[in-house]
Structure 1
Amino acid sequence: MTQEIDTLGKALRHNMLVMATCRSCEKQARFLAADIAAFYGHGRNPRTLKFRCTDCDSRDCKVTLVENPHDRTPETIIWRPVKTRL
């Protein structure tokens, strides 16, 4: 029986990546589910997270969960979230 991964805690247990894709310019950013869960909590639905594109400044991003590639190539970049003060 398969189960939908609907929380960051479940994604963390499966060692998944949270991938945000800008719908305007198609830029992608990947984050470890563990890092995102530390910021937003383990019970948060990853598809409700808000991301902003650094290239086109758009806030229209699609969030998907992907498996962590164990044979990661050098061009796979994992971003780390940081809190900033305004």
Structure 2
Amino acid sequence: MFASSHMTQALDTLGKALRHNMLVVATCRDCERQARFLARDLATFYGHGRDPFSLKFRCTECNKHNCRITLMDNPYDRTPETIVWRPVKVKL
């Protein structure tokens, strides 16, 4: 009786992840190094309609593009060990 499709929807865009204050986590499949990004920053950089699972990340440790993308809740009680990266454009 109370089941509704709008109550459970997939977070398939950066805009939806932004509304839920999510982090986008890129984990290298080869060396397991992780990088965390605010969905807000990535949505500003790539656009709110972009699928977060289509983003391409490069591991700074092993220099490969083989990353697994996951979404996670933003820990409000952030500890000093949590590092959040910000995307930037670099002109070469």
Alignment-derived partner of residue 27 in structure 1: 33
* 1:31 shift after superposition: 0.4
Aligned pairs, how many?
86
SS at match of 2:18: helix
Alignment-derived partner of residue 44 in structure 1: 50
TM-score by length of 1: 0.97
Gaps of 5+ in 1: none
TM-score by length of 2: 0.90
Q: Deviations over 1:3-28 (max 9, x none)?
A: 11000000000000010000010000
CA RMSD of aligned residues (A): 0.7
The list of structure 1 runs, each at least 4 consecutive aligned residues, that deviate by more than 6 angstroms after superposition, is none
